Amino acid sequence: MSVFTHEVEVLDPIGLHARPASQIVKLVKESELNVEIGRPGEEFVKAKSALMLMSLKIKTGEKLTLTVETTDEAKAADIAAQIQEFLKG
């Protein structure tokens, strides 16, 4: 298993709130991959809980790092792209 790292930016005017958090959680649970999200240089949280994601209090314009544990680099890139879409608002 490899860990692939991607950067995403929160573009939603409200920041990371309940709707995108629940979309991310649904995606991650369906993928059955280990995905973690956090600010660069800070502690990451597992992306399987909307409450954990919202506890980060991410605001509009913030850049986040996400890690995806998988053997398939294309799948990791697809997960990152979908998460970026959820964060557009």
Order of strands, sheet of 2-9, starting from the edge strand that comes earlier in the sequence? 2-9, 63-70, 34-38, 45-46
Distances (CA, A) of 48 to 27, 61, 80: 9, 23, 15
Catalytic residue among 17, 38, 49, 85: 17
17 counts as catalytic: yes
Nearest-angstrom CA–CA distance, 2 and 11? 28
- Which amino acids are annotated catalytic? 17
